[in-house]
Amino acid sequence: MTKSLTHITKVTVRFSECDALRMVWHGNYVKYFEDGREAFGKEYNLEYMDIFRKTGLAIPLVHIECDFKKMVGIGETIYVETTLVDNPAAKIIFNYTIYNDRKELVCKGKTIQVFLDTEKKELMITVPPFFEDWKIKYLK
């Protein structure tokens, strides 16, 4: 069975995140996904810089996708539901669902990250030990 773990982050849309149509500029959803991912990492002990310092591994994104369903405007509050989906590969896969105050779907997205050995400058092809340990602790 595939396990998953979810965190919900509340975000208030900034004036400067809205474009000439007075709606959130689409590129800012990538930031909201990051807000979700960082809040997830804080709650479940999976933080970028922390991992980098301990293991020398960077975890760059190799794929992002987003489907926009409903626009949101200045000052609105949105909720980013960030879900880590278990998978056997040397990857971290997150799904995102953003909805508004009225529980309407705003957008759905997905990111895939890989593990980069910054010393050897090589992608890791097997799951790094720290992440195996993390999965045992948080997903089993």
Binding marks (x or -) toward its own copies, 106..135, rule CB under 8 A?
------------x-----------------
First and final C-alpha spacing in the chain? 10
Question: Which letter does DSSP use for residue 15 in this model?
Answer: G
Q: Which of 72, 13, 61 is nearest to 34 (CA)?
A: 61
Q: Which of 4, 33, 36, 2 is nearest to 138 (CA)?
A: 4
By CB under 8 A, residue 8 contacts its own copies: no
**43 membership: H or E segment, kind and range:** helix 28-44
Shortest distance (Å) from residue 1 CB to its own copies = 28
Answer for which of 5, 6, 55, 64 binds its own copies (CB under 8 A) is: 64
Q: Are 94 and 9 in contact (CB under 8 A)?
A: no
Q: State the number of binding residues for its own copies (CB under 8 A).
A: 37
Answer for which of 1, 20, 125, 136 binds its own copies (CB under 8 A) is: 20
Q: Which of 51, 28, 36 is nearest to 124 (CA)?
A: 51
Segment 29-48, which members bind its own copies (CB under 8 A)?
A: 30-31, 34-35, 38, 42, 47-48
Q: Which residues bind its own copies (CB under 8 A)?
A: 12, 14-16, 18-23, 25-27, 30-31, 34-35, 38, 42, 47-49, 58, 60-68, 71, 73-75, 118
